[in-house]
Amino acid sequence: MKKIASPKELFSRAWTALKATWQIVLPLVAGIQVASYVLSQLVSFIPGALGTVLSFVATAVIMVPTVGVLNGTLGYVRKKPLTYDCIRSMLPHAWKVICLYLWTMLCLFAWMLPGMGGMIVGLMMLAIGQKLLVLGILGGLTMIAGVVAMLVLACRAAFSYAMNNGILIDDPTTPVRDILKKSKTMMQGYRWHYFKVGLPVFGGILVIVLVIGLLTAVLPLWLNSMISTAMGVVTATMSQYLLPVMYEELRRIGR
């Protein structure tokens, strides 16, 4: 089997593609973010469980143009021209995109259940432990362990399913469950590698978030909102390049 390129090399490829096409991708991603915000605000006026369900569906619908842009950047990585029309490229397969997103979220939720169970047990022990100190301490430790387990399992699952959209773009006729299986197979042994590819971006974003958190009491609310929105756009834009580069590299080595 061929050797996979280093995280540094893969990030360099993504960065080169970004520098060449950001004028197209950044406005598209920003527009999608604005549309997502508007939809979420409209749905927020609907009370109860219906509002929650519609909010989730709205997020799934936004995935159609998002995967469309990804189709464009994947094409660019494959030496094809990138145009604004890429945002509409997945409309013929909109239902498949939505189903894939919803099924993936369901699988992520299932992966998180053990950690959530630990949290619930910990909370119950804390409630009982108000009268029994030892039980309260054990409850706190159990709850912390549950949170850690939930985050670890969720991250593991998210990286396992990271190639879903690339597989869908290449063959929209593939059944949703088969897409998830194929993504898990592709990412087996390379989840940590992909994490390191995106570490320069997401590490930088994390530092900025921590700094903003410390300055929340000083900075105006509108400025905090603007910075948070800008970080969201930057992260989403960079993701549109990291995934295609990693996907193509995994295909190159025969995954």
1 lies in a domain? Answer: no
pTM: 0.85
pLDDT in tens, 58-115: 888 999 999 999 999 999 999 999 999 999 999 999 999 999 999 999 999 998 888 8
2 lies in a domain? Answer: no
User: How much is the pLDDT for 219?
Assistant: 67
- Domain residues for the domain of 123 are 7-252
User: How much is the pLDDT for 1?
Assistant: 59
68 lies in a domain? Answer: yes
**CB-based contacts of 5: which residues, under 8 Å, 6+ apart?**
13, 249
User: How much is the pLDDT for 125?
Assistant: 76
Which amino acid, 248? Answer: E
205 lies in a domain? Answer: yes
Choose among 152, 236, 146, 240: nearest CA to 191: 152
Q: What is the domain count for the chain?
A: 1
User: How much is the pLDDT for 216?
Assistant: 64
Give the 3-state DSSP-derived string for 192-253, with helices as H, strands as E and coil as C.
HHHHHHHHHHHHHHHHHHHHHHHHCCCCCHHHHHHHHHHHHHHHHHHHHHHHHHHHHHHHHC
In this structure, what token pair is assigned to residue 47? Answer: 């009370």
Integer Cα distance of 97 and 88 in angstroms = 13
In this structure, what token pair is assigned to residue 37? Answer: 């915000």
- φ and ψ of 247, to 5 deg: -60, -45
| Distance set, CA 103 to CA 33, 98, 107 (Å) | 22, 9, 6
34 lies in a domain? Answer: yes
**CB-based contacts of 25: which residues, under 8 Å, 6+ apart?**
18, 69, 72, 73, 82, 237, 240, 241
User: How much is the pLDDT for 100?
Assistant: 95
CB atoms within 10 A of CB 148: 12
94 lies in a domain? Answer: yes
Q: Give me the residues of the chain with pLDDT under 50, please.
A: none
Own/partner pairs for 188-194, CB < 8 Å, 24+ apart? 188/160, 190/4, 190/250, 190/255, 191/156, 191/159, 191/160, 191/162, 193/4, 193/7, 194/159, 194/162, 194/242, 194/246
184 lies in a domain? Answer: yes
